[in-house]
Amino acid sequence: MEEYVWLETPIHKNNFSKNLFEENPSIEETLKLSFDGSIVAVKVGFLEEPFESQQVIMMRLGYKAWPKKQKVDSSESFYKYLALWAEL
């Protein structure tokens, strides 16, 4: 069984552009979805680097500001956004 990283709060797929999933069909293979289409987990290897590069731990501790706006238009930006909500 593959390892997944669970998100602190489920995020519904409708929060993202429909084009994101159409242009990057492999994204859905890396996600674990609930019955209503909410993203609840992501495969481990896809969130480790964005989690560390954004210094998510420092944000949660209050030493670094959270991003005010984050444009999600590619698979890279999608995983960076999910990393903010991951429980690593």
- Distance (Å, whole) CA 66 – CA 64: 7
Q: Tell me the per-residue pLDDT of 10-21, one tens digit each, with 9 for 90 and over.
A: 999 999 998 999
User: What pTM does this model have?
Assistant: 0.88
Q: Report domain extents, the chain.
A: 4-83
SS3 at position 4: strand
Residue 11, SS3? strand
pLDDT score, position 1: 44
Per residue of the chain (88 residues), give pLDDT as tens.
Answer: 468 999 999 999 999 998 999 999 999 999 999 999 999 999 989 998 999 998 999 998 999 998 888 889 999 999 999 999 998 7
